[in-house]
Chains A and B, each alone.
Chain A
């Protein structure tokens, strides 16, 4: 159970009663309330039958004592004598896997019986700086001191995760997956005479950059047509696919994605954010089920269909290529939060915090990123689509 937005102990109890035995939280989730909710539910759980992990975002120069102090506060909120895993949270650089303070804290806390296993999680780089997820986690596997990993892996975003999963299997590291359901973005039609709010904003941006309204409309029209063409190949396949399988909801896709991921023997478990009883009921019903041949074929087709329209979490193949320094992977992760996780407000606020290093930069850019994605992702088109989705101005 991914507890990133969960703050109700009854949800923990319900998940446990429905068979969930893995709870993933962090000191920062819901300002500590996620840990508190697990703590309040703890008297209703058999402690030895659940695996509870929490995470700390460790600063580069942070001391052992500071990490131990923060962890003790987490433990207090969780109302348990120990956690099954303490993770270094959201690591963006491979060098951090050698963090002396973290490893010293883990040694001490293991000796005290407060922590059973050391873990690490990564989404890859934030912006141009930092390392890809697989580089970080492979370095952690190589380091040899981590027992658990939390990584991005889905039927569309396989390759980096597969490398990490192989390393985990070789070294006996427990692998938990996050972001197992892929995103899908739409491109809205452009009517110059009656532009949508988003398109009007883009026109406004171009005018601010010195263009007349006519020039701005013309430029935006050209760009959007170009981007629509970029996406057209996917569009046609999407329409055919949806018609062929009668896909109506993205829930169908999400459920099959989880079952697909659990079918991999190197995977220990999958995190699914479950923030209400209804979601818990839907996903726990999948436990013990396996994909049928038809489901697998469907997912394979989804991969073909959407593979080019999905920016792989944790990937850094295009990092540094944008002349404006737009953090492509980060922007698309926010779009994922918006489209797949229903965290619209959160995603939009995060996007706004990029402070201009966003998809609006693509409006009048010649796109040296074109063709840079090894998976065929149309970077500029997708960034502009994400900008429509996420911009707050």
Chain B
């Protein structure tokens, strides 16, 4: 009886009127102050094209699993909620980073979230990517916040970002520059599966740090060998590095660390780039 009462109190406190607390439930939840219109449409790899033809390729490139889409109405406002399930949290982050508007304002929800001035909002949490789009009228910051709070709570779990993101240091990182590129990172076909972010520099333009992750069946040695076949291998003291020049970015240098390759570009010459790499010790192992 006591546990039933506590559960009831919990339900009242939640933004969602009938929390499923189960991200595997087919239907998206009721949201307080909003009315669901029709049933939740569920799309898998076979049918996602029907739902977002022309835009699905991005999601597929980052490991798309399913899309749940539901229309909600409140007074004169109508919106679509899309919940994408990707195969990994890193995949969900990759999509979020690609779709995040440059001027998006963080709402402090999920692993990360953004409200765009145009009246739509985005968030990701674990391997889920959430997208709220106004169909009629426009969403305010507060309504976005309330809706996302309900949805992220419904998803359950914690809000921790993918652990791979910790490979890039937070200190000095330019806000909103953190990204994950699956193919042709920095414009070269030699680099794929890259985490990257821009970093501030005193008296200079920002530069970019990157972490190249080996593929699922690939060792870091094999990845190194592939790059070494196309770019120059150099030695600076005890440090072995791979170096090349990229158009408009300048020298890029990569070294092996903890089962990944870490690199920097846009710092300056090789010596300056190496100085950055020597000081960089990734915090976590994959």
Which residue numbers of A lie inside 8 Å of B, CB to CB?
5, 7-8, 10-11, 13-14, 17, 26-31, 33, 57, 275-279, 345-346, 349-350, 352-353, 355, 392
Contacts and interface: CB of A to CB of B under 8 A. Distances in A.
Contacts of A278: 188-190
B184 A30 contact: no
B46 A353 contact: yes
A275 B57 CA distance: 15
Nearest to B95: A31
A28 B58 CA distance: 11
Contacts of B204: none
B189 A276 contact: yes
B54 A28 contact: yes
Contacts of A392: 45
Contacts of A275: 183-184, 189
Contacts of B188: 276-278
Interface of B: 45-50, 53-58, 60-61, 98-99, 183-184, 186-190, 246-249
A10 B188 CA distance: 10
A10 B57 contact: no
Contact of B47 (A5, A27, A33, A355): A355
Contact of B247 (A27, A277, A279, A349): A277
A42 B60 CA distance: 29
Contacts of B56: 349
A38 B184 CA distance: 17
Contact of A345 (B61, B99, B184): B61
Contact of B187 (A26, A276, A346, A355): A276
A353 B247 contact: no
10 contacts: A7-B98, A10-B187, A10-B247, A11-B187, A14-B248, A28-B54, A31-B99, A352-B46, A353-B50, A355-B47
A13 B49 contact: no
Given A30-B57, A31-B58, A352 B189 contact: no
Given A10-B187, A349-B60, A353-B46, A28 B98 contact: no
A352 B248 contact: no
Nearest to B46: A352
Which of A11, A27, A279 counts the most chain B CB atoms within 10 A?
A11
Contacts of A350: 49
Given A10-B187, A30-B58, 7 more contacts: A14-B187, A31-B98, A33-B58, A279-B189, A353-B47, A353-B50, A392-B45
Nearest to A350: B49
A346 B186 CA distance: 21
Nearest to B49: A353
B47 A276 contact: no
A97 B233 CA distance: 56
A290 B233 CA distance: 37
Contacts of B60: 345-346, 349
Nearest to B54: A28
A352 B45 contact: yes
A57 B46 CA distance: 21
Contacts of B49: 349-350, 353
B184 A14 contact: no
B161 to A, nearest CB: 22
Given A275-B184, A276-B184, A350-B49, A13 B247 contact: yes
Nearest to A349: B60
B48 to A, nearest CB: 8
B57 A13 contact: no
Nearest to A33: B98
B187 A8 contact: yes
A27 B50 CA distance: 17
Nearest to A279: B189
B46 A355 contact: yes
Contacts of B50: 353
A8 B46 contact: no
A8 B187 CA distance: 7
B25 to A, nearest CB: 25
A355 B50 CA distance: 11
A275 B47 CA distance: 27
A355 B46 CA distance: 7
A277 B61 contact: no
Contact of A277 (B48, B98, B246): B246
A349 B43 CA distance: 12
Nearest to A13: B248
Give me the 7 closest cross-chain CB pairs, A-B, nearest first. A28-B54, A276-B189, A31-B55, A276-B184, A353-B49, A352-B46, A14-B247
A346 B60 CA distance: 7
Nearest to A30: B58
B47 A277 contact: no
A57 B98 contact: no
B32 to A, nearest CB: 31
Contacts of B249: 10
A350 B54 CA distance: 11
Contacts of B246: 10, 277
A10 B184 contact: no
A93 B187 CA distance: 37
A352 B60 CA distance: 12
A29 B50 CA distance: 16
A72 to B, nearest CB: 13
A277 B58 contact: no
Nearest to B56: A349
Q: Which of B46, B47, B187, B247 has the most CB of A within 10 A?
A: B187
A249 to B, nearest CB: 15
